[in-house]
Structures are given as C-alpha cells and as structure tokens.
C-alpha cells in the first residue's frame, strides 16, 4: 500500500506543480470571466449592487475618485445578473460576506428596477412560498467571496477549460472585461457604428423582457428582501436607491409592466431615509437597448457621483 | 454526489483510506454507511425511499426462501414488484400517463382534469429498482438463494459505485462478492484507479465538450438546417457514449479499487456491425435485464417469427420508456425495435446481396460497411433520445439533409457559439480527444487495453498517466455537470 501511496503522491505532486504553475500564470496574465474578479477582490467598504444593468453602468473607480473622502473603501461593483443577483436572501447573504468587517461609513448604491424585484407567477404556488428561484445560484451558494485566488469559485463555477485562461491574455481581443473594481466593460464599437446591429440586439432583448413581463410579477418577498438589505447596510453606512437609465423602448416596457414602480420605491425609501435617484429616461446610449455603453457608463458614473456628493 | 465533483474528490480518498485501514470485518459496514452518505448527499428524504424498498425486498426474499411452493411465494413476489414498480411509476411515470390520458380524453372531446404530482425523480431509481426486481424474481424462481443478512442485502442495493447509474448487477454476480474478504492488492487498486482516470477523461474532456456543440442546436433546432444539425447529431452521438461509458468506467474502477467486480456495460458499441450487435455492446446490463425478465418471459424467439418480432418491439418500447417518461424516448425505443425487426426480416436478402456484390469474400470491407451503416442508424435514433420534444426531433430528422447547397455561415457560427471564443481550439481538442478514444477502443476491440498498456516501458506508462491527468486539468470542462444517465 505504501508503494501505491508513494507513487500516487509523486504523480499527483507533478500534476499539482504543473497545474499550479499554469493556474498562477493564467490568473496573473489571463482573463477568467465576467464574475471572478469580484470574488477575488478583498472585502469591500462601499458597494454597487444590482443586476447586469448596474454591473455595466456604474464604475466604482469614478465614484471613489469623487467621494472617497466621505466613504470607506475599497469600492466594488458587486452587481451580477438578473438570474444571479435579484434582491433576495441569497444575494443578501453574499453581500454580508463581501462587506468588510467593521465598516461604518460605507456607501451602498442599490440599483433597482421592476425585474430585480419580480418573481415568476408560477412561484406563488404552495411549496415554493418560501423559496427563491436563485436559491441554488452561484451568488447564493458561493461561500468564499473575498479570496485570491478563489479556488472555491474556480472549482465550482469556472465554465471554460483551464487552458483558455492562458489564451485569454490579450485584453485588446476580449470584448468583455471585468475590471478589478468590479465594473464590467463591454468593449463593443459604439452603436452608431452599426445601427442595424443595435436594432437587432434591441429587438432580441425586448422580446426576452416582454416574455418576462408576461410570466413575472412584482413580488412582496423581493420587496421585503430589498428592505432587509437596506436595513442591514444602513448599519454600515449610507444607502441610496438608484434607477438606472436604459433604452427608450425598454423604459416604456418597464412603465407598462410596473407603472407605479417609482412611487413604490420612493415610499419604500422615504421612511428609512434612503434617497431614490431616478435616471430611467435619461438619454444614454446602450449596446442592446438595455445596458449602457462603456462611454455612457463613464458619463453616468460622473453624474451619479456628482448627485451623490450633493446629497445632505 | 457526482463523480466529477469536489465533494467526490474528498469523499473517495477519505473513504478509501478508512476502508483499508479498518479491520476486514468493518469494511462492509463502512461501505454501506458510505453508500447511504453518497445517496443522502443528494436529497436526504429519498434515502428513506431507498431504505424502505430495501427492507421490503429483503423481507420478501427471506419469506420466499421459507416457502416451498411457487403459489405460496407468489404474494411476496407481487408485493415486492408492486413496491419497486410502484415507486418507479409514481415518481417517474405518473405525470406522463396522466398527461397522456388527458390528451386522449381531449382528442375524444371528453373533458378530464387529471392530477399531476410535483415530485423530483429520485436519482438512480430506475437502476436500483431494476436490480431489486431482478433479485426478487431470481429468488422466486429458485435461481438464487435469498440473502439472509440485512446489511449485506442493503449493500447489494445501495453499493455506491453503481447505485445511481448502474451497471445493473445481478444477485448471483454481486452477493457472493459481498461475502468475501477484500484486502488491499496493488495491481487491482492501480488498475481500478486507471479505469477511473480514463472514465473521468471521457466525461470532462470529451462528453462535456461535445455537449457544448450539441446543446445550442438541440435547444433551438428550428434555427438550423443541414450541416449544423448534422454536426450536432454527430456531437451528441459521441457525447452520450463518452458520458455513459465514462460514468461506467468510473463506477467499475471505483468498485475494483474496493475489491469488487462490476459487470461490463460497454464493449466498443460503435464498432458494432449491426444493430443487433450494437445492443450486445451498449448498456449490456440493461439489455441483459430486458432479455431475462421481459423478452424470455414473453416467449422470446420460441413462439414463431411474428411473435418474436412483436416481443422485440415490446422490449424496445419498454426500454425506451425506461429511459424517460417522454414520447421522445418511446420513439427512440420504437425506432431501435423497428431496426431490429427489419434487420431480422432482411437477413437472408442482405446475405444474398453481399454474395452478389462480392462482399462475402471480403469480410473486412463487409464489416466496415456494416459498422458505418449501424453507426449512422444509431446516430439517427439518438436524435429522438436527445431532442426536447417530438416536434423538435422530427424537425431535426427531416432537415438533416436540407440546405446543403451553400455554406450556412451564420448558422454554423450560432452552432459553434457554445464552444466560446476559442472555438477552433475547442474543436481541435474535441477531435484529438475523440481520436484518442477511438484509438483506445480499437485496441480494446483487438484484444485488451491492459495487455497493450503492460507492453509499454514503465516510464512511458507513467508519462501517459501524467499526460491523461494533465489533459483533464487543462482541457476538462468542470462546473459539476451531471451525467446524462443520472436523470433516468
């Protein structure tokens, strides 16, 4: 038995060494994916929260440059996707893990829209009354959210083969770039370069959200989760609700889907002293009728920083 | 627990270390405990289901062993069958038949509202219930002595390497092994680990990569025609073999490490020269089960030609249904049954044709043609197995050969999207890995891979092992994707 253990140990040692060197090189020079850097970043003092719209629209670096003196860092965009990070207990527990211990003067920008506070209508039924669709998602399940390298993430959620880390070293050729501050840059040419492509992407996105509007509804459980998130974060600093800009057709769809959404958010924030900043109809260009372009993200982040600086 | 998960990566060495460190008499109890842990890690509540049916089957077997006549034993047989097949029906087929009944009633303009059950399918239920049914029927028929030791019987049902996706073992093969002492043996353990590594390679490098090619097309087949559809069918043909045989290698390898021999489940099925030959090589433990417990009791080939063909069709319809409660699986089974009936009916004509074409004098060419044709027929049938519903399956089947006049660049781009930005590298890895699998299967077909490997110098062999493990590490697709046959 010792002979086998010795030989296996040697074999696995060689594999570990070669694999470890490759992993180190891949993580140092390559690009992992649209989520990893957020889980490899240190615990944060100020957070941007929400779904993909916030992930692509708000640059924490811009906010930090303007507001860094007033609020604690590190600053991180900790917004993911509609499937991963709608407001719910899973996202809240991940936020609890990500927040730097002892934070007292953080800034927490909570991007809200009707989609991230909705649930499928069919989930109203019995048996699912206490569960959330994203209960088994990466954000809900990942226990280690501030480790570098984050082997827990790499082992469970890296959906591309390892060798591709070594191929994705040229950032100029990668369309999607997740910055160390968590901002997800989509490096596409400006929409004006190809209006037909923008129209196609917008049509596809609208079709997806129209289907969502038909099958979902605003959920009391999600609103309660948002309130719980606000209550938790208020103990650690300032909370602001923000409705981000989007394409005109998407904004119109959202108004049809939830005409009273702005009033509901104002009502939710006012009693607990949380301001609600609404940029929904502001004219910023998008890549797909939904997510802002990288240039627009820089502009919006500047404006948001200025508006936040003016808050009493 | 999945074999390709971190959980298993911890479970297996810990379990193995304990297994060989403990005195021999404690190894079986450890195996039983670890088997239940393995199963409960998925959905603890369904462990009760496994334990309940195990207790009932054990007691039925013991009672039957105390009764002399078949008439006295029969109620216990029926009780056990009702428990096993009832479990299978409730958890797997109730909604399917309920919906079929509603559909039929609607077609007859009779408004019926049938209930549906919101139950998750217990992992491996089709496998362990079939294994238990085989045991109880063998005991009833007096072919097998009932196991008197509850723990041993429970381990026979729940033995973790084969609990969730087979191979479906027989009592006569497995129970004697459970009574033997299993000590550490270097050669056997090393051989088991090699088999496990090969199975894992097939799963994470080949099957899960080919899935990335097949899934985008099968998820939205109407967006494609011609070449992309054909590519997806070819990819799934490779995926299902690498996935299921990979799982079986992992199961057989793990059992071998522990000192147990599980039956062979695959014998290079894509080298089969006919569909009949394919079924003697593909999922052999299930084919054998249907032969012994359905085909032969139906009369087998002893009741005339027409009845034989009917029996074949019945067996394959049931086999299709065993795979899943969906019309696509029924169609897949029916197609294979049809192939076999046609093969049987045209045997004489094909032999004559082979003579006239001179193929009889060139057996290797004849065999190669047979293998090619069989592979094409099997791949065509996989369309029904993989498609999400019957309309999708019929669409793929009827559009495979349309649109070949021009290269559908946009469709190909969409079909390859699943492989990501580095699709050329991914295709190269897929082709290389499939070539390696074919090469190894060819060696197995010609003799024995173990013997072939033994002929290598030690340094070359160890370099090969290191290469295989590194290939898994660098080219493997992880993220705990489930084995296809777990859903059955």
- Domain annotation covers residue A200: yes
* Amino acid B117: pLDDT: 79
- B50/B145 same-domain check: yes
Query: Which A residues in the span 157-186 are in contact with B, Cβ-Cβ below 8 Å?
Result: 157-164, 167-168, 174
Record the tokens describing residue B268, joined without a space. Answer: 């290079």
d(CA A245, CA A289): 10
pLDDT, greater one: B420 or A304: A304
For an interface test with A, give the residue of B19, B205, B421 to mutate (most A CBs within 10 A): B421
Q: In angstroms, how far is CA B395 from the centroid of its own chain?
A: 26
* Amino acid B413: pLDDT: 83
* Chain A nearest C-alpha distance from B430 (Å): 12
* Chain A nearest C-alpha distance from B477 (Å): 5
**Which residues touch B372 (CB under 8 Å, ≥6 apart)?**
none
d(CA B240, CA B6): 23
- B113/B65 same-domain check: yes
d(CA B449, CA B200): 17
* Amino acid B207: pLDDT: 95
pLDDT, greater one: B418 or B328: B328
For an interface test with A, give the residue of B478, B480, B481, B482 to mutate (most A CBs within 10 A): B478
Q: Quickly tell me which residue has 């009502």 as its tokens.
A: A267
The ipTM of this complex is: 0.71
* Chain B nearest C-alpha distance from A149 (Å): 17
- Domain annotation covers residue A14: no
Contact between chains at B184 and A1 (C-beta distance less than 8 A):
yes
Contact between chains at B184 and A127 (C-beta distance less than 8 A):
no
Question: Could you tell me which of B44, B116, B46, B127 has the C-alpha nearest to residue B84?
Answer: B127
- Domain annotation covers residue A26: no
Task: Give one DSSP letter per residue of B345-377, joined into a string.
Answer: HTHHHHHHHHHHHT-TT-HHHHHHHHHHHHHHH
- B172/B215 same-domain check: no
Residue B6 has pLDDT above 80, yes or no: no
Count CB-CB contacts under 10 A for residue A240: 19
Residue where one domain finishes, among candidates B184, B203, B235: B184
Q: What is the mean pLDDT of residues A104-117?
A: 96
* Amino acid B58: pLDDT: 96
- B180/B192 same-domain check: no
**What is the pLDDT of chain A when averaged over all its residues?**
91
Maximum pairwise Cα distance, chain A: 72
Q: Which of B20, B193, B477 sits opposite A161 (nearest CB)?
A: B477
Residue A171 has pLDDT above 70, yes or no: no
- Domain annotation covers residue A24: no
Contact A274, A241 (CB under 8 A): yes
Q: What is the mean pLDDT of residues B90-97?
A: 87
Residue B449 has pLDDT above 90, yes or no: no
- B55/B179 same-domain check: yes
Q: Which domain holds residue B157?
A: 6-184
Residue B435 has pLDDT above 90, yes or no: yes
Q: Which of A1, A155, A167 sits opposite B422 (nearest CB)?
A: A167
Please state at what angle helix B423-446 crosses helix B208-219, rounded to 10 degrees: 120
- Domain annotation covers residue B1: no
Contact A301, A58 (CB under 8 A): yes
Contact between chains at A11 and B466 (C-beta distance less than 8 A):
yes
Record the tokens describing residue A272, joined without a space. Answer: 């607990």
- Domain annotation covers residue A5: no
Give the bridge partners for A277, in sequence order: A242
Count CB-CB contacts under 10 A for residue B171: 24
- B224/B176 same-domain check: no
Residue B484 has pLDDT above 70, yes or no: no
- B171/B24 same-domain check: yes
d(CA B363, CA A176): 56
Give the bridge partners for A185, in sequence order: A177
d(CA B352, CA B371): 19
Question: Could you tell me which of A303, A267, A281 has the C-alpha nearest to residue A59?
Answer: A303
For residue A20, the chain B residue with the least C-alpha distance is: B473
Residue where one domain finishes, among candidates B151, B184, B217: B184
Integer-rounded Cα Rg, in Å, for chain A is 21
* Amino acid B248: pLDDT: 95
DSSP A286: B
Residue where one domain finishes, among candidates B152, B184, B216: B184
Q: Which domain holds residue A297?
A: 31-310
Contact B246, B388 (CB under 8 A): no
Q: What is the mean pLDDT of residues B434-442?
A: 94
Give the bridge partners for A217, in sequence order: A119
CB-neighbour burial class of residue B304 (10 A; exposed 0-12, middle 13-18, buried 19+): exposed
Residues of B in contact with A162 (CB under 8 A): 473-476
Contact A260, A164 (CB under 8 A): no
pLDDT in tens, B351-407: 899 888 888 888 889 999 999 999 999 999 999 999 999 999 999 999 998 877 777
What positions of B carry a catalytic annotation? 323
Residue A277 is inside which H or E element, if any? Answer: strand A276-278
Q: What is the mean pLDDT of residues A80-86?
A: 95
- Domain annotation covers residue B417: yes
pLDDT > 70 fraction of chain B, expressed in percent and rounded: 98
* Amino acid B283: pLDDT: 95
- B170/B315 same-domain check: no
- Domain annotation covers residue A89: yes
How many structural domains are present in chain A? 1
- B211/B94 same-domain check: no
For residue B118, the chain A residue with the least C-alpha distance is: A127
- Three-state SS at B481: coil
**Which residues touch A106 (CB under 8 Å, ≥6 apart)?**
A44, A45, A46, A47, A71, A72, A99, A100, A233, A236, A237, A238
Q: How confident is the model at residue A74 (pLDDT cuts 50, 70, 90)?
A: very high
Q: Quickly tell me which residue has 């004489």 as its tokens.
A: B348
* Amino acid A129: pLDDT: 56
- Three-state SS at B68: coil
* Amino acid A3: pLDDT: 85
* Chain B nearest C-alpha distance from A246 (Å): 27
- B338/B232 same-domain check: yes
- Domain annotation covers residue B268: yes
Produce one character per residue of A149-173: b if its CB has 16 or more CB atoms within 10 Å, e if not.
bbebbbebbbebbbbbbebbeeeee
pLDDT, greater one: A210 or B2: A210
* Amino acid B52: pLDDT: 93
* Amino acid B100: pLDDT: 84
* Amino acid B302: pLDDT: 87
* Amino acid A128: pLDDT: 54
* Chain A nearest C-alpha distance from B424 (Å): 12
Task: Give one DSSP letter per residue of B201-215, joined into a string.
Answer: HIIIIIIHHHHHHHH
- B179/B193 same-domain check: no
Count CB-CB contacts under 10 A for residue A262: 15
Q: Which of B186, B190, B420 sits opposite A160 (nearest CB)?
A: B420
Integer-rounded Cα Rg, in Å, for chain B is 24
Residue B480 has pLDDT above 60, yes or no: no
pLDDT > 90 fraction of chain B, expressed in percent and rounded: 66
- Domain annotation covers residue B70: yes
* Chain A nearest C-alpha distance from B173 (Å): 27
Q: What are phi and psi of B149, to 5 degrees?
A: -100, 115
**Which residues touch A131 (CB under 8 Å, ≥6 apart)?**
A123
**What is the pLDDT of chain B when averaged over all its residues?**
91
Contact A25, A169 (CB under 8 A): no
- Three-state SS at A216: strand
Record the tokens describing residue A94, joined without a space. Answer: 């991940």
Q: How confident is the model at residue B479 (pLDDT cuts 50, 70, 90)?
A: low
Q: What are phi and psi of A107, to 5 degrees?
A: -115, 130
Strands in B408-480 per DSSP E: none
Residue A126 has pLDDT above 60, yes or no: no
* Amino acid A248: pLDDT: 93
β-pairing, A176-178 with A216-218? unpaired
List the alpha helices (DSSP H) in B259-362.
275-279, 284-290, 305-323, 327-345, 347-357
Residue B77 is inside which H or E element, if any? Answer: helix B70-88
Q: What is the mean pLDDT of residues A226-239?
A: 96
Contact between chains at A156 and B480 (C-beta distance less than 8 A):
yes
Residue A128 is inside which H or E element, if any? Answer: none
Contact between chains at A156 and B190 (C-beta distance less than 8 A):
no
Give the bridge partners for A242, in sequence order: A111, A277
* Inter-chain CB pairs, A–B, below 8 Å: 59
Residues of A in contact with B118 (CB under 8 A): 127
Contact between chains at A3 and B186 (C-beta distance less than 8 A):
yes
Q: Quickly tell me which residue has 């897929």 as its tokens.
A: B430
Cα dihedral B375, B377, B382, B388, rounded to 10, equals: 150
For an interface test with B, give the residue of A15, A22, A161, A172 to mutate (most B CBs within 10 A): A161
- B83/B136 same-domain check: yes
Residue A127 has pLDDT above 60, yes or no: no
d(CA A244, CA A297): 10
d(CA B301, CA B290): 14
**Which residues touch A304 (CB under 8 Å, ≥6 apart)?**
A58, A63, A109, A242, A277, A279
Q: How confident is the model at residue A130 (pLDDT cuts 50, 70, 90)?
A: low
- Domain annotation covers residue A11: no
Contact between chains at B425 and A167 (C-beta distance less than 8 A):
yes
Contact between chains at A161 and B479 (C-beta distance less than 8 A):
no
β-pairing, A118-120 with A176-178? unpaired
Q: Which of B465, B475, B478 sits opposite A163 (nearest CB)?
A: B475
Contact B359, B365 (CB under 8 A): yes
Q: How confident is the model at residue B482 (pLDDT cuts 50, 70, 90)?
A: low
* Amino acid B119: pLDDT: 78
Contact between chains at B477 and A159 (C-beta distance less than 8 A):
yes
Contact B425, B226 (CB under 8 A): no
* Amino acid A125: pLDDT: 58
SS (H, E, C) A134-147: CCCCHHHHCCCCCC
How many structural domains are present in chain B? 2
Contact between chains at B476 and A155 (C-beta distance less than 8 A):
no
- Domain annotation covers residue A16: no
């Amino acid at each position: 038995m010792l002979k086998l253990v010795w030989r296996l140990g040697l074999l696995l040692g060689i594999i570990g060494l070669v694999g470890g060197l490759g992993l180190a090189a891949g993580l140092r020079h390559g690009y992992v994916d649209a989520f990893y850097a957020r889980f490899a970043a240190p615990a944060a003092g100020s957070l941007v929260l929400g779904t993909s719209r916030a992930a692509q629209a708000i640059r924490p670096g811009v906010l930090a440059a303007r507001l860094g003196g007033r609020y604690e860092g590190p600053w991180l965009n900790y917004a993911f996707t509609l499937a991963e990070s709608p407001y719910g207990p899973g996202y809240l527990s991940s936020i609890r893990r990500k927040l730097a211990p002892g934070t007292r003067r953080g800034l927490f920008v909570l991007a809200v829209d009707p989609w991230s506070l909705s649930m499928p209508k069919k989930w109203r039924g019995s048996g699912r009354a206490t569960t959330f669709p994203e209960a088994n998602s990466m954000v809900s399940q990942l226990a280690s959210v501030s480790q570098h390298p984050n082997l827990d993430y790499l082992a469970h959620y890296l959906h591309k083969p390892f060798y591709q880390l070594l191929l994705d070293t040229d950032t100029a050729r990668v369309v999607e770039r997740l910055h160390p501050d968590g901002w997800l840059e989509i490096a596409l040419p400006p929409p004006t370069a190809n209006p037909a492509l923008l129209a196609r992407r917008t049509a596809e996105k609208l079709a997806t959200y129209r289907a969502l509007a038909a099958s979902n509804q605003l959920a009391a459980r999600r609103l309660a989760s948002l309130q719980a998130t606000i209550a938790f974060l208020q103990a650690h600093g300032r909370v602001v609700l923000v409705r981000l800009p989007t394409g005109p057709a998407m904004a119109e769809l959202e108004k049809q889907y939830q005409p009273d959404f702005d009033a509901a958010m104002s009502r939710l924030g006012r009693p607990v002293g949380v301001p609600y900043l609404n940029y929904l109809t502001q004219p910023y260009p998008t890549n797909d009728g939904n997510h802002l372009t990288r240039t627009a993200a820089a502009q919006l982040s500047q404006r948001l920083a200025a508006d936040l600086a003016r808050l009493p | 627990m999945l074999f390709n998960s971190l959980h298993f990566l911890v479970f297996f060495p810990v379990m193995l270390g304990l297994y060989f460190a403990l005195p021999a008499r404690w190894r079986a109890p450890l195996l039983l405990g670890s088997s239940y842990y393995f199963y409960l890690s998925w959905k603890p509540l369904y462990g009760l289901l496994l334990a309940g049916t195990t207790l009932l089957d054990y007691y039925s077997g013991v009672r039957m062993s105390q009764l002399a006549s078949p008439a006295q034993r029969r109620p216990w047989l029926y009780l056990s069958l009702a428990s096993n097949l009832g479990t299978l029906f409730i958890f797997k087929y109730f909604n399917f038949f309920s919906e079929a009944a509603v559909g039929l009633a609607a077609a007859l303009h009779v408004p019926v509202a049938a209930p549906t059950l919101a139950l998750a399918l217990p992992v491996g239920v089709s496998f362990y219930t079939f294994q238990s049914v085989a045991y109880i029927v063998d005991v009833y028929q007096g072919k097998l002595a009932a196991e008197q030791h509850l723990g041993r019987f429970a381990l026979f049902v729940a033995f973790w390497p084969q609990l969730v996706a087979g191979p479906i073992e027989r009592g006569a093969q497995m129970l004697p092994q459970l009574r033997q002492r299993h000590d550490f043996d270097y050669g056997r353990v090393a051989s088991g680990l090699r088999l496990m590594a090969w199975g894992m390679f097939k799963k994470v490098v080949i099957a899960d990569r080919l899935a990335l090619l097949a899934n985008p097309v099968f998820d939205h087949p109407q967006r494609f025609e011609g070449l992309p559809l054909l590519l997806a069918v070819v990819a799934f043909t490779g995926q299902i073999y690498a996935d299921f045989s990979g799982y079986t290698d992992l199961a057989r390898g793990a059992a071998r490490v522990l000192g147990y021999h599980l039956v062979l489940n695959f014998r290079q099925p894509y080298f089969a020269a006919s569909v009949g030959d394919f079924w003697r090589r593909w999922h052999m433990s299930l084919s054998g089960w249907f032969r012994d417990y359905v085909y032969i009791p139906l009369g087998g080939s002893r009741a005339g030609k027409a009845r034989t063909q009917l029996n074949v069709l019945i067996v394959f319809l049931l086999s299709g249904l065993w795979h899943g409660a969906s019309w696509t699986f029924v169609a897949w089974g029916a197609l294979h049954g049809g192939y076999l009936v046609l093969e049987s009916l045209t045997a004489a004509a094909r032999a004559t044709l082979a003579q006239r074409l001179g193929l009889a004098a060139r057996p290797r060419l004849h065999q190669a043609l047979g293998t090619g044709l069989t592979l094409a027929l099997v791949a065509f049938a996989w369309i029904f197995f993989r498609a999400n519903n019957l309309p999708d399956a019929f669409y793929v089947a009827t559009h495979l050969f349309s649109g070949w006049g021009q290269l559908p660049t946009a469709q190909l781009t969409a079909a390859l999207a699943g492989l990501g930005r580095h699709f050329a590298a991914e295709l190269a890895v897929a082709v290389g890995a499939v070539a390696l699998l074919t090469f190894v299967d060819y060696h197995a077909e010609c003799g024995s891979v173990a013997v072939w490997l033994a002929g290598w110098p030690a340094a070359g062999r160890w370099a090969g092992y290191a290469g295989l493990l590194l290939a898994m590490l660098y080219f493997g697709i992880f993220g705990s994707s489930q084995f296809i046959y777990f859903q059955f």
